[in-house]
């Protein structure tokens, strides 16, 4: 019995294949044309495709090209070869998108997890616009030559073996170096086994939410405070409670502990971000005691603690008492450079046994050469020397910015931020809307952050500009502040 030949469908003949030398291979073009015809309904399920010889003649291409396209389509399940030839497979095609000219009758259901819709965008992240941006270190002052040598040594020592995943909790050499550094510089009580290497502080915060809370638990965050902490708790589906910050840091009352007890508490005790307050020892001890009483965990983000410009450095809350219910978070984005993407999480010893297996399954390791290089950078003393140089630079830049604000900012204001870190916060009267000012400043290549953008429940006093001085030369502050002063006055609400 013979079968009648199958005519070549018109949908495959609408246009010749592109035979220019820089075009895609012919078999790839034919594969795409047939696939699109199947998905669009031009070739119906069960219909038979023409033989390879017939289609090759119709398109003026070689039979081998048609055969190769058919084989790829069959491998992916678009067609099914049988004794009678090649047939289009039955597929569950998605409905065609509505015409762009016709709006849908009703809004479609959200396509992402509902909790993620609560994460609000931060300020635009344009690297070319870094002047006065908070949180950016002095990248041009980083000792690249020393870092390159450390990387070369790491590659020589690690060899090809370091191309694999490695320990999911981090390179032992780096965990040991961090534990030793934190013990001497920050008063942190920990063993190397308690140090978990992460991709920056943000991954450490996400880990805290995933490991120690359940959806619907309550999380306290400082208000105004770090947006990344809010994002991490939103991603963990926690019920976020904003806690106001005053001159002594996070202010929790007995009523707060009774009416809305937390599972997680996020705080920046050494240098509150962005207001710059230092959490007093009385409040630190009370927070630890209450957290123990209510079975809560404190996430201590030791933000900017390495860059204190006046007096002795303030020790970490984690080391205040034995077995404090504190998870200590740190990053090398400011002390080294942001693209390094290395941070760490110091777990309380009492959590190690229960979290070992989950962490090993959730993490995969990586950045092994960078981790080994950073371990050498710390152990050799290069890291401490670099921090010393940066402290002096940032101290001078902060003072230069304070002087420029005093001379050039011709509106009522109050300067906060403490003598620490890489930024100053300038509070402004509410008649000068900070978001409008920040937007206008971007047109001039200036990137301050509006203070109100850090607050979940903005108060009238949460109005101002957060000015970064880390990556801005001191001689630029006078003209920059003068320009800002003009923009602030132009934005005034009468």
Residues 220 and 208: beta-carbon distance below 8 Å: no
Co-location of 371 and 311 in the same domain: yes
Tell whether 99 is covered by a domain. Answer: no
Q: Which residues pair with 116 in a beta bridge?
A: none
> Which domain CATH number covers 77?
1.10.10.10
Residues 48 and 86: beta-carbon distance below 8 Å: yes
Co-location of 375 and 415 in the same domain: no
Crossing angle of helices 368-379 and 382-408, rounded to 10°: 90
**Which residue numbers in the chain have pLDDT < 50?**
1, 128
Residue after which a domain boundary falls, among 342, 361, 380: 380
Co-location of 245 and 362 in the same domain: yes
Give the pLDDT confidence score for residue 93 in this predicted structure: 62
> Which domain CATH number covers 445?
3.90.1150.10
Tell whether 485 is covered by a domain. Answer: yes
Residue after which a domain boundary falls, among 380, 404, 431: 380
Give the pLDDT confidence score for residue 365 in this predicted structure: 86
Co-location of 177 and 39 in the same domain: no
Cα torsion 351, 352, 354, 359 to 10°: value is 110
Tell whether 115 is covered by a domain. Answer: no
* Integer Cα distance of 484 and 386 in angstroms: 32
Co-location of 353 and 369 in the same domain: yes
Co-location of 239 and 357 in the same domain: yes
Tell whether 120 is covered by a domain. Answer: no
Co-location of 345 and 238 in the same domain: yes
Tell whether 93 is covered by a domain. Answer: no
Give the pLDDT confidence score for residue 268 in this predicted structure: 96
Backbone angles phi, psi at 119, to 5 degrees: -80, 115
* Integer Cα distance of 449 and 371 in angstroms: 32
Domain that holds residue 14: 10-88
Co-location of 22 and 149 in the same domain: no
Residue among 14, 11, 68, 54 nearest 36 (CA): 11
Tell whether 122 is covered by a domain. Answer: no
Residues 141 and 393: beta-carbon distance below 8 Å: yes
Residues 65 and 20: beta-carbon distance below 8 Å: no
For the entire predicted model, the pTM comes to: 0.83
Co-location of 391 and 474 in the same domain: yes
Tokens of 295: 């079975």
Co-location of 407 and 422 in the same domain: yes
| CB neighbours of residue 92 within 10 Å | 4
* Integer Cα distance of 48 and 30 in angstroms: 16
Q: Within its chain, how far is the Cα of 131 from the centroid?
A: 21
Co-location of 342 and 196 in the same domain: yes
Residues 221 and 198: beta-carbon distance below 8 Å: no
Residues 373 and 151: beta-carbon distance below 8 Å: yes
Co-location of 397 and 307 in the same domain: no
Residue among 416, 440, 419 nearest 428 (CA): 416
Total number of domains constituting the chain: 3
Tell whether 108 is covered by a domain. Answer: no
Tokens of 112: 């992402």
Residues 283 and 253: beta-carbon distance below 8 Å: no
β-pair type (195-198, 239-246): unpaired
- Burial readout 471-488 (b: 16 or more C-beta within 10 A, e: otherwise): bbebebbeebbebbbebb
Kind plus residue range of the DSSP H or E element containing 80 = strand 79-82
Tell whether 97 is covered by a domain. Answer: no
Residue after which a domain boundary falls, among 324, 353, 380: 380
* Positions of E strands within 337-384: 343-346
Kind plus residue range of the DSSP H or E element containing 233 = helix 227-235
Q: Within its chain, how far is the Cα of 326 from the centroid?
A: 23
Tokens of 122: 């931060």
Q: How many CA atoms lie within 13 A of 198 on its CB side?
A: 24
CA–CA distances in Å: residue 462 to residues 249, 401, 441, 466: 15, 21, 19, 11
């Amino acid at each position: 019995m013979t079968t009648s030949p199958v005519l070549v469908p018109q949908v495959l003949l609408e246009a010749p294949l592109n035979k220019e030398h820089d075009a895609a291979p012919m078999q790839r073009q034919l594969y795409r044309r047939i696939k699109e015809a199947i998905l669009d309904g031009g070739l119906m399920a069960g219909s038979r495709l023409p033989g390879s010889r017939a289609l090759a003649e119709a398109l003026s291409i070689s039979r081998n090209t048609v055969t190769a396209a058919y084989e790829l389509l069959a491998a992916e399940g678009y067609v099914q070869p049988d004794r009678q030839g090649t047939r289009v497979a039955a597929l569950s095609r998605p409905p065609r998108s509505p015409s762009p000219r016709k709006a849908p009758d009703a809004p479609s259901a959200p396509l992402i997890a509902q909790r993620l819709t609560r994460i609000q965008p931060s300020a635009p992240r344009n690297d070319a616009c870094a002047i006065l941006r908070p949180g950016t270190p002095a990248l041009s002052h980083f000792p690249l030559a020393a870092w390159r040598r450390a990387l070369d040594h790491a590659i020589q020592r690690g060899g090809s073996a370091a191309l694999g995943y490695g320990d999911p909790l981090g390179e032992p050499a780096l965990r040991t170096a961090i534990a030793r550094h934190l013990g001497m510089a920050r008063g942190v009580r920990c063993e190397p086994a308690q140090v978990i290497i992460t991709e920056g502080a943000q991954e450490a915060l996400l880990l805290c939410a995933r490991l120690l809370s359940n959806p619907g638990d309550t999380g306290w965050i400082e208000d105004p405070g770090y947006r990344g902490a809010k994002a991490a708790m939103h991603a963990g589906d926690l019920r976020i409670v904003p806690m106001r910050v005053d001159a002594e840091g996070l202010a929790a009352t007995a009523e707060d502990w009774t009416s809305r007890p937390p599972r997680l508490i996020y705080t920046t005790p050494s240098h509150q971000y962005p207001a710059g307050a230092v959490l007093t020892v009385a409040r630190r001890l009370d927070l630890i005691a209450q957290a123990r009483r209510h079975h809560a965990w404190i996430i201590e983000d030791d933000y900017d603690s390495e860059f204190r410009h006046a007096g002795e450095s303030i020790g970490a809350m984690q080391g205040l008492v034995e077995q404090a219910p504190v998870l200590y978070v740190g990053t090398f984005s400011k002390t080294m450079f942001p693209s390094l993407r290395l941070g760490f999480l110091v777990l309380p010893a009492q959590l190690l046994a229960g979290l070992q297996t989950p962490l090993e399954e959730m993490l995969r390791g990586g950045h092994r050469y960078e981790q080994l290089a950073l371990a050498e950078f710390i152990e050799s003393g290069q890291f401490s020397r670099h921090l010393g140089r940066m402290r002096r630079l940032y101290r001078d830049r902060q003072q230069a910015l304070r002087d420029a604000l005093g001379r050039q900012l011709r509106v009522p204001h109050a300067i906060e931020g403490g003598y620490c870190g890489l930024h100053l916060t300038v509070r402004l009267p509410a008649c000068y809307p900070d978001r409008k000012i920040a937007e206008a400043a971007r047109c001039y290549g200036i990137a301050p952050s509006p203070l109100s953008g850090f607050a979940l429940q903005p108060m009238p006093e949460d109005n101002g500009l957060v000015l970064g001085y880390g990556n801005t030369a001191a001689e630029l502050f006078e003209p920059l502040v003068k320009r800002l002063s003009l923009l602030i006055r132009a934005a005034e609400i009468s």
